[in-house]
Chains A and B, each alone.
Chain A
Amino acid sequence: MSRSRANTVKIVSAALFLLVLLVVVPLLIAATGRSDLYYTLTSVALLSIISAGVWITFYIGRINIGQGAYALMGGYVSAILVMNYGVSFWLTLPLAGLFCAAASVLIGLPILRLRGVYFAMVTLVLTEVTRLLALAVPTITNGASGIVSIPLPAGISFFGVTLVPDFATLANPRLAFYIVSVLLMALCFLGLYRLAHSRIGQLCQSLQQNEELASSIGVNIAYLRIIAYALSSFLGGVGGAMFASISQSIYPSSFTVADSVNFMLNCFLGGLGYVLGPMLGTFVLYFGWDLLFETEEFQLLIFSTVLIALMLVLPNGLLSLTLPHKWRA
């Protein structure tokens, strides 16, 4: 009985949260006239999707600093499909994700055998490889000058009924992007929650603790690792594709090593043990960075000092503060 009540509470609060994001926030922004906040919030939503991918790899006990590689790949796949082949953007979104997932299976087969810092270092290098690759094949990626002026997403209509309007005809495409991103984020974290509480999620946790032990009682660890990594890269690809569409451009330097490190920091800061960790971490990091813009040349100094202080006080993430009973356990 109490279990189902707890579930109801969760569902209601999630619905409320979504309602606030989709209705209250736009109203507030309209009231205050700060429409630049749309871009910030959209970025937070998308970055938290990409960070959620990193979180999945943490869930199988791997430190992934290569998410920028897949975000970049996803951005390029979407941009190239839209620009050169005239594919609808909405179709390229899953395609970019699938492309990244397929690529990550190929890359993951050898490197997922590595553990600990070895995996971390290889993935770090992977981000750099993707950037260099984008520079090395200018016939496809247009080299350092990147792909620019990508058209806004076109509409989707189904038997004459417009499901999604053409973004170019909208008075405020920023609001549209915001809503799409929030919906994507909700979908992503719903999936993540289901994943973490499913049978596969439990098995993933067994990998995080002890791979040999898990494998000795019949868990197919190689298969699970690949699945988790592919899921993670899928999210990276989708997020990257969305970003390319919003900024209407993609460059080899759109996602760099620093971004990959930031995705990892988002997860750490929010707390690795909590599904909502990446979302909170991204929000705090991104807004913290933005707020500090006023301090000009001291921005990075204050930002990093706060990060270090947070790490000293709350080494298990921000969410460990609100859930003390879990922390003690």
Chain B
Amino acid sequence: MEQVIANGLYLGAQYALIALGLTLIFALMNVLNFAHGQMYVLGGFVTYSIYGQLKLPFVIALICSGVTLAIVGALMEKFLFRTVIRRSKREESTMLLAAATAFFLDAVVLLLFGEKQRGVPKIISGVFVSDRVILPYDRILVGVVAIVMIATFMLFMQYSKPGRAMRALAQDRIAAQLMGVKVERYSMIGFALGAMLAGIVGGLLVSITGVNSGIGGPISIKAFLMVMIGGAGVVGGAIAGGFILGMMESVGLTVLRAYGDITYLVIFALLMIFLSIRPHGLMGKPWG
């Protein structure tokens, strides 16, 4: 049982980090970023190239992943999403754009890095063994880094000036603008930050699960699940959703092993029931 909880926490920490980026972009721009999983994949491949192939330190690779994705995110916001939001009659049009950018990133990753599954050497080797829990050290490290990053992110959103501006923007765009928040600049920063988070998780996880160009879609779906559980556009909700999904996956894989590969089926069914009772997730705003 302790083993299951430890696995759940480890999964939850990385999931929460993925969901944070998605929910941030949604809160600021009202855009459902279909390309989130693809951003994760791109981040993974950047780390793979720098750490796995150029043999530079892992930390540098991770920073490069973050910076690359931040730039990609900022450019996407400035040249694509902003334009479409301004010109379109229906705000759903951004979903088409997001889906198209997901295809685009898929194509770019496929062209640059090929379709093979890629992995990198372990960051640290060895396994932590106690009488009840067995966890490889690199998983512990990744889990801890993820939790530290979540904490940093929350502190940043809570106390820094850009953080405050972004929270104001998420609450009420027009009111924030009237109070002198530079809406366009902070939308761009927010989008870049969300993309950066996706890239960093991708970079972190490439050291454990590896990366291949096809996992973007499934990652996006998982991120949507977490956001639905926690409520769209709420930072706390994304974190809660991430940990809940991680825990459910970990428990489900153990408990339901006898019945075949139905963990996700059960999770989906539970989610349907949950959403019919609480349509906007644990802490989401109604009709986000």
Give the B-binding residues of A (Cβ under 8 A).
Answer: 58, 63, 107, 109-111, 113-118, 120-122, 124-125, 128-129, 132-133, 135-136, 257-258, 261, 264-265, 268-269, 272-273, 297-298, 300-301, 303-305, 307-308, 311-312, 315-316
The segment out of B119-127, B154-162, B177-185, B269-277 that lies at the interface is B269-277
Would you call B279 and A114 a contact (CB within 8 A)?
yes
Residues from chain A with Cβ under 8 Å of B272 in the complex: 107, 110-111, 122
Given the interface contacts A63-B95, A133-B265, does A301 sit within 8 Å of B107 by beta carbon? yes
The segment out of B44-52, B98-106, B137-145, B201-209 that lies at the interface is B98-106
Would you call A63 and B92 a contact (CB within 8 A)?
yes
- B161 → chain A closest CB, angstroms: 28
Given the interface contacts A118-B280, A315-B84, does A301 sit within 8 Å of B111 by beta carbon? yes
Would you call B261 and A316 a contact (CB within 8 A)?
no
Would you call A118 and B232 a contact (CB within 8 A)?
yes
Partner of B93, one of A107, A136, A315: A315
Q: Tell me the bound Cα distance from A90 to B24 in angstroms.
A: 50
Residues from chain A with Cβ under 8 Å of B232 in the complex: 117-118, 121
Any chain A CB within 8 A of the CB of B89? Answer: yes
- B116 → chain A closest CB, angstroms: 14
> Of residues 104 to 137 in B, which have CB atoms within 8 Å of A's CB atoms?
104, 106-108, 110-111
Some 20 contacts from A to B, beta carbons below 8 A apart, are: A58-B92, A110-B273, A110-B276, A114-B279, A116-B288, A118-B281, A120-B32, A121-B224, A125-B224, A128-B268, A132-B265, A136-B260, A136-B265, A268-B93, A300-B103, A305-B104, A308-B97, A308-B104, A312-B83, A315-B88
Q: Tell me the bound Cα distance from A118 to B241 in angstroms.
A: 14
Q: What does the 1/0 interface line of B31-72 toward A look like (CB < 8 Å)?
A: 010100000000000000000000000000000000000000
Determine the interface band of chain B, counting residues with CB < 8 A from chain A.
35 or more
Residues from chain A with Cβ under 8 Å of B111 in the complex: 297-298, 301
- B194 → chain A closest CB, angstroms: 15
Would you call A120 and B228 a contact (CB within 8 A)?
no
Would you call B264 and A115 a contact (CB within 8 A)?
no
Q: Tell me the bound Cα distance from A301 to B100 in angstroms.
A: 10
Residues from chain B with Cβ under 8 Å of A120 in the complex: 32, 95
Q: Which are the 6 A-B pairs with shortest beta-carbon distances? A: A110-B276, A315-B88, A304-B103, A300-B107, A304-B104, A301-B107
Any chain A CB within 8 A of the CB of B221? Answer: yes
Given the interface contacts A124-B221, A312-B83, does A113 sit within 8 Å of B100 by beta carbon? no
